[in-house]
Structure 1
Amino acid sequence: MTQNGEGQEALGAAPQVLTFGAPAVGEVLAERYRLEEHVNNDSLGRQLWRGADVVLRRPVAVVLRYPGGDSASEMLSAAVASSRIVHPHLVGVYDAIDESERAYVVREWVDGSSLRDLVSDGPLDPDRAATIACAVADAVAAIHGTGMAHGNIHPGTVLIAADGRVVLADARADEATTTEADLRAIGAILYCALTGYWPHAEAGPTSVPDAIRDSGGNLAAPRQVRGGVPSPLDELTMDLLNPALPVPSADVLVGELGRFEQTSGHPLFMGEDSGFHGFDSAAVAAAAPRPTNRKIVVGIAGLIVIALAGVLGATKVLTGRGDPVPQGGGGKASASAGARSGPITDLKLSADQVRILDDVKGNHNELDTDVKKTVDGDPTTVWRTDQYQGDPNFGTLKSGMGLLFDLGSEKHVVSVKVQLATPGATMELRASSAPPSDTGTYASVTTEGNALKINGADFTLVGEVKQDAGTTVVLPGPPDSPVRYLAIWITKLPPLGGGKYQVGVQDVAVSVQ
């Protein structure tokens, strides 16, 4: 179903698949992986098989190519690098084996569909499109956090499982890509999900239809292609595709997209499916139909098409070329009244802008002098709570602890990034423009149901509670109005071992627009 690899390499006919010594159904590779079905081939001549791990008794996908050796080094290097990153939005890679005459990668088999398949039936609702793009950005943030890039983000490598999980697949190792290219590609994914078009001409019979452009070649914005797209989401999409504008980091982008995420409760993927096929067979798949019956207004005044300067750094990367990022993102329509504008920046916070939050039942003596370490920009310094025994919920002694930030004035908060010393905490973001009364280093918290007050001021929950979070937590900011006060409220502590629990906060960064 998915179409991994249909990108720059597929500008002509797909290369012939080498089948000398090709395996047969039932063959067991490496005395472990039984091949059960040859699904299809990709544009690079790789075979995709559905298989089974006979040791762990789980389904797997096997990507196999002939020959092995040096010609397979890119595929194997990408697989090895990918296997080191465990993330809920990345396809798991289990094994990479070179047998000289052939090489193969064994990865997670996921039941569901690709974004390419989904948009063939028409564009997605804006909240679903944002949810998918946000998940991709979250996966990319994990990759970029290792100093590498993905390099192959397109509708065939974005997979939506039957249970709604979004995963990114098929990283490739090549030094010719950049982290910026990944971020531009996320904008292209968002554009594709919103419109059903890909903002770059794709070759191959299974390509997504090319985007609509005016006579000057300028890309039509999503709001010009279909109705119902929120203006801020439309602008974010076009900004990401515009090479004249800088791109935010992946974790900041997660926070920005989180403002538009799905809240309807409907699944991202519905219907029957036999599983991700990894690649679409170019030999049998028909071209995806261009969406019809749309009233399209094209003719964007003042668009400037700027070619993307291919300044390729020596960034160490996971992958190589996939569907290329569009070079004609163009400008955007003028912002609607009241919409956010301007660049996204990190707000510089000082020690006097942060206070410790403690439950009214707490003793208010937990390392108050260390709170400045959460905003010193040094991830090696840590503010820690006391250690609690027997229960991760603060030993059942109180409802939680946290940090209160005074931004100095009301600001549009895009995201709050929290760096923790250990994974496993549960936290939430609260916001208010009402000033809590000043009681020094500490501020007292009272809770009742979902309500939370800080020194008497009501603080509203923003987004969803992050449960069992990793060491890097990105909390989306309030989507509608500016706020002055932010509260990070922690209700569950990570385990230390020996029945003890404690959280350590290394750094907090607030991005504003």
Structure 2
Amino acid sequence: MSGKPTEYIAPNRKDTGPGVEDAGLAPGTVLGDGRYRLIGNVGHDVRGNAQLWRAKDSALGRDVALTILVGDRSDTQVTAKARRALERAMHAASFHCVGAARVLDVISANQGLADSDRVLGIVVAEWTHGTDLAELVKDSPVPPATAARLLQALAVAVETAHHVGLVLGIDHPQRIRVSADGELRFAFPGVRPEASATDDVRGLGAVLFYLLTGRWPLPDAPDGVQTVQMPHDGQPITPRSLRPAVPLELSNAAVKALAGPDSTINTGGIRTAAAMIPVLERAAASENSGTLMHQSPIGNPAPENEIWRDRDPEPDTATKRKLSVGMAILSVATLLIVGWLGFQVAQMFTSNSSAEGQFEIVEDGLDDGEDGNAEEDVEETGPPVAAGPIGPSGVAEWQPPGKDLDDAARAGQAIDGDPATAWTTSAYFDSFDSDRALKEGVGLMVSFSEASRLAEVTVNSPSAGGVIEIRSSPTANPGGLDETTLIDTMNLTNGDTTVNFDEVAETEHVLLWVTGIVPVPGGYQTRISEVTFQEAE
């Protein structure tokens, strides 16, 4: 399987599935005071009476994911459940994690939904580019190590959410997508009112089971998804029993997570996402090392998509020939270099002997100083002198490839001249230097209309203790942090913090790479209110 799946758009479904209110929704329908235009129906969750749609946000010109709660507004029980689901979605709006789409907006029935009297509320989230989970396993299950790697980001998202008292609601296959970065992502927030942390853990087990076997093991699966009926007692059905190539540890992890606290199946049980993560890490590591987590039975060939070796591979004839030619070229180059060095040494001694006795000592005229000694003219150097402010032509949030942006829409507020507005990082549960950190940093890429000679930079911020690396960049969108060059490091104080560069920084793009975030209520975060630059003389 490719590490980055191509974009897959599910075909429009003509019905919403059994048990889900139709609500008269169709591609082209506009909701939310005309802001969101429906593009295509992605699926439905019959347990929460929710429709899952891809839509276009006309205000910002971007695609979004809509979890649309539908039902009869006159039914007090239905409306109460919808209201509770919307409240839980609002609580999750501040949650940011790679494995879960960020909630952008929550719309209740009395907020711009008069155009559809069957819609009880909408949860708006970032659109996850990639492919449907069902499309990924449509033809065949994925290799076990790949399944583990895909699931890691989602497991981390579940563990992080539970750490702050949130429930995601990942126990439905159509709410999960495979991102363009090759990771599973919870794409349609809007958890059912009755969902618990246990349901999330069971969801992890179900997704792992689905990836390994192509069959969904929980009830109420959507149409078109192959299922398997799990027994409530006795011997459980395992991924390994359906597909012998699955490693034993990975198969057991899926079944133990699926068991749940009310199950009578004696599997030991996995109760938290944290217990699942080490198993996934070990299984994913086998993909990188080219080894299996279990031994293949003697006499049986290695299963398809797995690597099985009983001895080290030998280089082929072409490889040997290329190696011989390379060694010969290296030998010739070494001889040439040694000869050139010898010639240079000989020339040095020859020049010294021939020049001996030919030099004439000429006394310089003395200065008029009282000591009568000549003084050398020494040019003193120092930091560049600031000539005046220089205004950036633009700014954008930057992340290394594969990392989600934190607050890209507000990047411009860092250079708008108004310290009352600001760009902030997301509120993380761990600092960037923690072993549990999701990222190593967050960046703002500031650009100028042309290459400029910069002498200093000032950052206005209330995040005393935060750390920012000032880096020059060859482009506005480098392929990685290693393509940028460190100019200086700034330790933020409360208010203005200024760094005078040791040398003139001549560049068209400056990256403010935030490596230190400070404690705030609910986590760690750094805020940048305003950034100004001074041009060198």
- The higher relative CO (CA closer than 8 Å, separation ≥ 6) is in 1
